[in-house]
Chain A
Amino acid sequence: MQPRDGIPHGTLYMLILKTLARTGQMHGFQIANAIQQISQDVLQVEEGSLYPALQRMLIKGWVTAEWGATPENRRARYYKLTKTGRKRLERELEQFQRVNQAIIRVIQTA
């Protein structure tokens, strides 16, 4: 088993938003799996913590939720990105990259 890192503080929203932006609608388990797979299992969402985050995003109006059925015909709540959520994602990405590059520059010069 290769080492897994926790998700840097504050980036969970961005990851969820990005995941939803790429794939349309997903339920919680799918989101957790998607984040894990895309990051090639390096980043691991502490699975339960996904749910309070999703609640907050619902309040903020970044995502909407709707109950639907999984392919195996289980009831699941599907989350979808809203317009506000898309704008938010762009802002977060921009900010993240800006900070990231700054950090990388600092590290490289050191």
Chain B
Amino acid sequence: MEWIGESWRKLKALAGRKQFDRDLDEEMRLHVELRAQEQIKSGTAPDDARAAARRRFGNPTLLKETSRDVWGWSSIESFWQDLRYAARMLSTSPAFTLVAVLSLAIGIGANTAIFSIANAILLKSLPVRDPDQLRLVLWTGHSRIPRHSGSGYSTHLHGIEVNSSFSYPMYKLLAASVPQFSSLMGFQHAQVTVVAAGESHYAGAFFATGNFFSDLGLSPLAGRLLSPEDDRPGAPAVVVLSYRYWERRFGLDPSVVGRTITINGRPVTVAGITPRPFIGIEPGRDYDLFLPMARVESFGPEWYSLGKEDHWWVQILGRLRPGISDREARAALDVVLTRASAAYAETQDQKLRPFRAVVEPGTGGVPLLREQASAPLLILGSVVALVLLIACANIANLLLARGTARRREIAVRLSIGAGRWRLIRQLLTESLLTAGLGAALGLAFASPLAKAALAMAASSEELVIEANVDPRTLLFTVAVTLLTALIFGLAPAFRSTRVDLTPALKDGAAGASGAGRPLRLSRFLVAGQVALSTLLLAGAGLFVRTLQNLSTVDPGFNSQQLLIFSVDGSRSGYQGEKLTGLYQRIRTKVEAIPGVRAVSLSSVPLIGNSMSNSDITVPGYTPKSGQSAMTYQMVIGSRFLNTMGIPILLGRDIEDRDSPSVPHVAVVNETFVRSYMAGQNPLGRVFYFGTRSGSENPDPKDVIEVVGVAKDAKYDTLRHEIPPTAYTPYLQRPDWVRQMTFEVRTALPPMAIATAVRNIVGSIDRNVPVADLRTQEEQIRLSLGMERLFATLVGSFGVIAAMLASIGLYGVLAYTVTRRTGEIGIRMALGAGRRDVLAMVLRDSLIMVAAGVAVGVPAALALTRFLQAMLYGIAPNDPASFIGAGLMMSVVAMLAAWIPARRAARVDPMQALRCE
């Protein structure tokens, strides 16, 4: 550990370097003087004494140098010297510096931004104690076993489907009988309605077992967190607020702790606030409230049952004991799971294959976004890497040209004895400084860029991800910066220090000799830039056209002049007829707002990324073996299809007369008819939900009669083919009614009545909040977030890349023209016209561009195949995108070539020849 103190002393001394020199000087002078005095005392003549003393002392300059070397300053000092020289060199050519620093800032900034998002989603550990010990406990087995497989996430690992939800009794059993885990924590989330300070709103609640906070090792920011005592039946109702929620809703007011708020109509005491860095264990999902698991039956949906064995909804996070391997833990879980699932199977009428436990790393929490985010991140990561590569090629090119211009300076330095390595180091320092400046600027806009990208990618829900510049991201940026500096700086540094001294010194400006080689490299680099830019532009074209296609696809309903909002009375104490009555009252009052043409409601908004589907039985239709008839279903209010502008092709819309007491009806779409009632008159035909064998007679109230056929319309997303869909009246399906979305067709701009809508719902019951109030067009726009993100980002980067490539081309041509002025003069003197000269330079650039495009297009064709899943309405080899990319690249390049070409054409032969 000695070196630590040593380095510290060195560092401290570094700051007082000047003082050090003075001290050493004084010390040595004193020494010599004292020695001389000694001699004088013993009778030597003063001059001789001084000379003798100096002789005895040795060479003070050399000794000082040696002393300074001892402190290891010389390398730092020479680096500092290089840096200052580099700064001077950069400031002498501001145009080059500006282009280089800006293009690097864009490249490095974009790479940092994408990395910070990937880091937050894929790499970051939870801010809890020993996150490496955390494991997600999952299971795999026969799919669709538990009748209510509730919430939770399922994913595919190594090709098998893996599920995350357990029944609560199963959780208890595991927690009690698998000692390989020091803790098994159960959790699940749900939406609740909160009334606090006279205001009602929806909030995300997280239900956690009592050991959750203590076993994660979290301590409260204020008050206390949930404990096992809170997680008991009959314990006083308490809630813990998340920091973000506390900030958003209560303005960080510390007196909130101890206060009572209302959740789903019940009073609950605020016990404390979670620490700020903890935003949950599912990156991407935000929680507002933390409630004890024991309270889940009061606050969660009805299938969150603590007692029922066939309700599967609890997710499990485990903390592995030190020294236990994942395999041992899984084996221990398996023993319990297999026995329990066999016992469970006997209570069910289906045959069950036993479950097998799966243990996955839980260091970063639940990888909710891993599956869906990996591919986009990979694509965006490749795009920004390409942009940086293009920027590197560009700067390397400019450096090569500059290196040629600096041949004289370099030759002078070489000839007065500078080593080649020393010069290379100097040139690399310049590259490093350029890259460093670019990185500093890039870092400044990395965070805003990441935030903007996330905001755009999130559809209607907020994507809560802490994509900040943390140490890991910073390390990434530093590594990228160093690598970048090497990539663009190394070749030019070697190239420009290989100078033939004599001609370089003789020539005034950039001589003609010896410049051929760097130029060949330059032309190659330009072609490479054009190729990469073409690739990016082709990708951009595909994404832009995908967004265009989706934006203009006919959804099958009229999305204009339509306001939507959601209300959930079920969480404010409304049930059954009271709930439908509430919705009826809201509808009637909203209908009365001036400028409202029609109002209806539905279980989910259209193009809202949520849907429900169900197996159905259609008498007269026999599904293929192993399959069943399936339909998407939407529970709607009367005149919904009319309000949405979905044409009725046959029969009628759902109407007010379709009350609970009359036979149940449905309107189905064309695809439904085509799939299950092809070639027959669907009106009057019946079907029922669920699958039953032919012999079984359904309960008459489950039988649904088709009373109308609607034109096909998009349901949950614009992307998918329209599935068979059945619209049923919500009054006839009271069990399915919870949250409803209202659709208001207006004559005015829709948002003009937003306030009126809020007031109406508030006046009916101020404890019932209005959520997701927006126009239907906005809803559609939000649903295309990912597509917009890709079109915007890849599009902008494509344009930036094309511009960089053009700058590169311009640089090379401008340099060539300067170099060939004499030659052009001779040509013109011999009778070449200005047009010929213009054509000559343009032809020269055309060769580079054509070579680049010729490489870029096939490369793009090979790569865009992987984008297939993200495209809509076009093939990955969409000719328009490819031709467009090649064309755009060529046009931009030719514009860049035009300037030097014009300059070449304007050469005055007389002057050019005289200069030569």
Contacts and interface: CB of A to CB of B under 8 A. Distances in A.
* Main SS class of interface, A: helix
Contact of A59 (B10, B26, B34, B59): B10
A80 interface: no
A61 B2 CA distance: 9
A20 B6 CA distance: 21
A75 B23 CA distance: 10
B31 A32 contact: yes
Interface string B18-53: 000001101110110011000000000000000000
B835 interface: no
Contacts of A77: 23, 26-27
Contacts of B28: 28, 48, 51
B30 A27 contact: yes
B67 A47 contact: no
Contacts of A48: 28, 57-60, 63
Contact of A47 (B5, B58, B66, B71): B58
A60 interface: yes
B733 interface: no
A60 to B, nearest CB: 7
Given A47-B31, A56-B70, 10 more contacts: A27-B27, A28-B30, A47-B58, A48-B28, A49-B63, A55-B24, A58-B9, A61-B5, A67-B23, A76-B27
Contacts of B24: 51, 55
26 contacts: A28-B27, A28-B28, A29-B35, A32-B31, A47-B31, A47-B35, A47-B56, A49-B63, A51-B24, A51-B27, A51-B28, A52-B63, A55-B67, A55-B71, A56-B70, A58-B9, A59-B6, A59-B70, A59-B71, A61-B2, A61-B5, A61-B9, A67-B23, A75-B26, A75-B30, A76-B30
B30 A74 contact: yes
Nearest to B66: A52
Contact of A55 (B34, B59, B60, B70): B70
A46 B9 CA distance: 27
Contacts of A51: 24, 27-28, 63, 67
For the complex of A and B, list the 6 residue pairs with the smallest distance between their C-beta atoms, beginning with the closest.
A48-B58, A52-B66, A48-B63, A55-B70, A55-B67, A52-B67
Interface of A: 27-29, 32, 46-49, 51-52, 55-56, 58-61, 67, 74-77
Given A59-B6, A59-B9, A59-B70, A49 B30 contact: no
Interface residues of B, number: 24
A61 B6 contact: yes
Nearest to B10: A59
A48 B66 CA distance: 11
Q: Which of A28, A47, A61 has the most CB of B within 10 A?
A: A47
Contacts, number: 60
A67 B28 CA distance: 14
A52 B27 contact: no
* Main SS class of interface, B: helix
Interface string B52-85: 0000111110010011001100000000000000
A67 B58 CA distance: 24
Nearest to A74: B30
Contacts of A74: 30
Interface string B563-576: 00000000000000
A28 B305 CA distance: 86
Nearest to B60: A48
A52 B59 CA distance: 12
Contacts of B63: 48-49, 51-52
A39 to B, nearest CB: 16
A51 B10 CA distance: 17
A60 B6 contact: yes
A15 B20 CA distance: 24
A19 B393 CA distance: 63
Contacts of B58: 46-49
Contacts of A49: 58, 63
Interface string B489-517: 00000000000000000000000000000
Contacts of A32: 31
B67 to A, nearest CB: 5
Contacts of A46: 58
Nearest to A31: B31
Contact of A29 (B9, B31, B67): B31
Q: Which of A56, A59, A76, A77 has the most CB of B within 10 A?
A: A59
Nearest to B7: A59
B57 A29 contact: no
Nearest to B20: A55
A55 B64 CA distance: 10
A59 B60 CA distance: 20
Q: Which of B26, B34, B56 has the most CB of A within 10 A?
A: B34
Contacts of B56: 47
Interface in B435-462: none
Contacts of A56: 70
A56 B26 CA distance: 18
A87 to B, nearest CB: 11
A102 B10 CA distance: 38
A52 B9 CA distance: 16
Contacts of B5: 61
Contacts of B23: 67, 77
Q: Which of A49, A55, A58 has the most CB of B within 10 A?
A: A55
A47 B30 CA distance: 12
B42 to A, nearest CB: 13
Contacts of B6: 59-61
A52 to B, nearest CB: 4
A47 B57 contact: yes
Contacts of B57: 47-48
B41 to A, nearest CB: 12
A56 B71 CA distance: 7
A101 to B, nearest CB: 29
A9 to B, nearest CB: 15
A23 to B, nearest CB: 17
Contacts of B66: 52
Q: Which of A28, A46, A51 has the most CB of B within 10 A?
A: A51
Contacts of A60: 2, 6
B31 A28 contact: yes
